[in-house]
């Protein structure tokens, strides 16, 4: 099978080091992968072409790149499935500095993983024997421990593109691996210290739920789902006094009560009704919404069938006294 690779390259030693595109024509087996094609480029076309690869079995994660604009493992991606008009576009992973061609610097990625303290921190006296974890608990954690730290989710995270201080999906999924472990935290398996740290700005509440990390993950870890679970853990542990927690509760209360979202009151309830300085900061956005005819209704009325929405809440959360 003949394949044209459109590769974004970068040479830091060039006179004018800027990214540029170069096309390569290679022949691979019909069942060949994108990595097979990239190795062909290095072996047969240009020995200076740089990429990372090792296991070629979707285990090491070192060959993560962007293929046709989305992160993935080059060794796991069959070339024939991603060819568009005879071309496969390959770029280095995003949100990380490029070292050379498809090789990126992972220092920022690892710094964020280390920031969540990726090891068990049991509290209280040590047991006489080993720490015990149930079979069900470990089966639940098996999905998270499947992470191979390839950086694909980090590459495509839309929050990291605008806020490099965000912990990112890989680090937060790794944090959940420990907050969900019954051997971590107090005797009830509650990791309050971890949750308190993750509850701060640039932590769990900064995820915008764009689903890019879920789509990019080659191992089905679903980092966004783990971040949502972290939020549930934080609320259950009593961490309600943050913008994210207040936003979640205000959103839920509004929909449960009326059947739809009260957009006008969502922002002040999320920031805190007495947080005047923060509310004033949103004034330009409010003025822009008004001038563009997007002002939410001042009087928020219940939908005629809002009781059906409340039934859904009762089914999930249990009946409430209203």
> Which regions of the chain are under pLDDT 50?
none
Look at residue 322 and tell me if it is in a domain.
no
Look at residue 309 and tell me if it is in a domain.
yes
Q: Which of 83, 104, 125 is the C-terminal boundary of a domain?
A: 104
On whether both 79 and 121 belong to a single domain, the answer is no
By residue range, what is the domain housing residue 162? 107-236
**137, containing H or E segment:** helix 135-145
On whether both 99 and 72 belong to a single domain, the answer is yes
Query: How many structural domains does the chain have?
Result: 3
Look at residue 241 and tell me if it is in a domain.
no
Structure tokens of 277?
């300085």
What CATH number should be reported for the domain holding residue 134?
1.10.1060.10
* C-alpha atoms less than 13 angstroms from C-alpha of 276 in its C-beta half-sphere: 0
On whether both 188 and 134 belong to a single domain, the answer is yes
Angle formed by the axes of helices 169-179 and 223-236, to 10°? 50
On whether both 133 and 205 belong to a single domain, the answer is yes
Q: Which residue has the tokens 């966004």?
A: 224
* pLDDT (0 to 100) of residue 235: 94
**Is the Cβ–Cβ distance between 199 and 183 less than 8 Å?**
no
Look at residue 199 and tell me if it is in a domain.
yes
Look at residue 300 and tell me if it is in a domain.
yes
Look at residue 171 and tell me if it is in a domain.
yes
Q: Is residue 138 classed as helix, strand or coil in its secondary structure?
A: helix
On whether both 222 and 286 belong to a single domain, the answer is no
How many whole angstroms separate alpha carbon 116 and alpha carbon 111?
9
* pLDDT (0 to 100) of residue 20: 96
How many whole angstroms separate alpha carbon 167 and alpha carbon 183?
24
Look at residue 48 and tell me if it is in a domain.
yes
Q: Which of 39, 72, 104 is the C-terminal boundary of a domain?
A: 104
What CATH number should be reported for the domain holding residue 52?
3.10.20.30
- pLDDT, tens only, 135-153: 999 999 999 999 999 999 9
On whether both 313 and 274 belong to a single domain, the answer is yes
On whether both 85 and 172 belong to a single domain, the answer is no
On whether both 68 and 123 belong to a single domain, the answer is no
Residues, the chain: 322
Look at residue 203 and tell me if it is in a domain.
yes
How many whole angstroms separate alpha carbon 64 and alpha carbon 49?
16
Q: Which of 104, 133, 166 is the C-terminal boundary of a domain?
A: 104
* pLDDT (0 to 100) of residue 321: 58
* pLDDT (0 to 100) of residue 8: 98
On whether both 205 and 229 belong to a single domain, the answer is yes
């Amino acid at each position: 099978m003949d394949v044209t690779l459109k590769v974004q390259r970068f040479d830091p030693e060039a006179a004018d080091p800027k990214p540029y595109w170069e096309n390569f024509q290679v022949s691979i087996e019909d069942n060949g992968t994108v990595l097979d094609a990239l190795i062909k480029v290095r072996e047969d076309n240009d020995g200076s072409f740089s990429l990372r690869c090792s296991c070629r079995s979707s285990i090491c994660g070192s060959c993560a790149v962007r293929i046709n604009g989305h992160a993935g493992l080059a060794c796991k991606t069959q070339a024939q499935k991603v060819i568009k008009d005879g071309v496969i576009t390959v770029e280095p992973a995003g949100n990380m500095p490029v070292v050379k061609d498809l090789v990126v610097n992972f220092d920022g990625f690892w710094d964020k993983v280390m920031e969540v303290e990726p090891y068990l921190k049991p509290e209280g006296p040590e047991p006489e024997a080993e720490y015990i974890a149930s079979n069900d608990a470990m089966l639940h954690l098996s999905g998270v421990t499947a992470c191979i730290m390839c950086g694909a989710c980090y590459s495509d995270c839309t929050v990291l593109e605008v806020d490099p201080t965000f912990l990112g999906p890989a680090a937060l999924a790794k944090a959940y691996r420990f907050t969900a472990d019954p051997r971590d935290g107090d005797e009830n398996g509650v990791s309050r210290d971890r949750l308190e740290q993750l509850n701060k700005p640039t932590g769990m509440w900064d995820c915008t739920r764009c689903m890019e990390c879920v789509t990019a993950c080659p191992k089905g870890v679903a980092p966004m789902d783990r971040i949502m679970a972290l939020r549930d853990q934080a609320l259950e542990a009593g961490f309600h006094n943050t913008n994210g927690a207040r936003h979640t509760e205000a959103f839920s209360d509004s929909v449960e009560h009326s059947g739809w979202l009260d957009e006008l009151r969502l922002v002040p309830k999320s920031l805190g009704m007495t947080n005047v300085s923060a509310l004033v900061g949103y004034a330009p956005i409010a003025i822009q919404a008004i001038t563009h005819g997007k002002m939410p209704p001042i009087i928020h009325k219940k939908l005629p069938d809002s009781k059906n929405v409340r039934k859904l809440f009762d089914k999930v959360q249990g009946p409430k006294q209203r």
